[in-house]
Amino acid sequence: MRLTLVLALAFLCALAPIAVSASSWVYYDIREPKNQFVLEDSPASSAWMDAAGSAEFCARTEPYQCFKAGNFEFAVPRGFHGKEKEWMYGGVLYKVSGTSRRFILGRRYFTYFIERDFGSHRLRFLFTREAGLIAITTIGQAQSMVLILSGKCGYGASPLCHRSN
């Protein structure tokens, strides 16, 4: 009986990493590396520099992948193909303003520039179909942050990103 209990607990512990699909994304400000934006889906939370808070994510059944974490809000159509030019989500207009092939921290990406207005600033999200959200920056005269993904797969990454080496 005791051996059966130990085997059952060992089996459940072995399955735990498979059953939990929590993800965490860390974006560092390359101008001020101590500043970072952290986003987690389980539990839904976020942090920007020294302030932690909650996060909200679109349900898997919604047509968008999105998050809202304090002042950071982002939405992209689920299954983004790159042919989309603009969309509205949560009363915010998102526009694809351009594309670029570039190397960022040693990795090559085909990047879509997705922009939205945020008060007197404009935010630019660098998004790839494979690695998801790889950077967030303000653009224009008041460029105050350049957040770069610290890992390989950002928010909204394709499942293939997590499987590849």
pLDDT on residue 61:
94
Q: Residues 109-112: contacts with CB within 8 Å, 24+ apart?
A: 109/134, 112/80, 112/82
Calculate the CA 8 to chain-centre distance. Answer: 36
The model's pLDDT over 82-140, given as tens digits with 9 standing for 90+, comes to 999 999 999 999 999 999 998 877 888 899 999 998 877 889 999 999 999 999 998 87
Does the model's pTM come out above 0.85?
A: no
Domain ranges (residues) in the chain: 22-163
The helix (run of H) or strand (run of E) holding residue 14 is: helix 2-19
The model's pLDDT over 2-26, given as tens digits with 9 standing for 90+, comes to 333 333 333 333 333 333 345 899 9
Average of per-residue pLDDT values in the chain: 82
AA letter at 155: Y
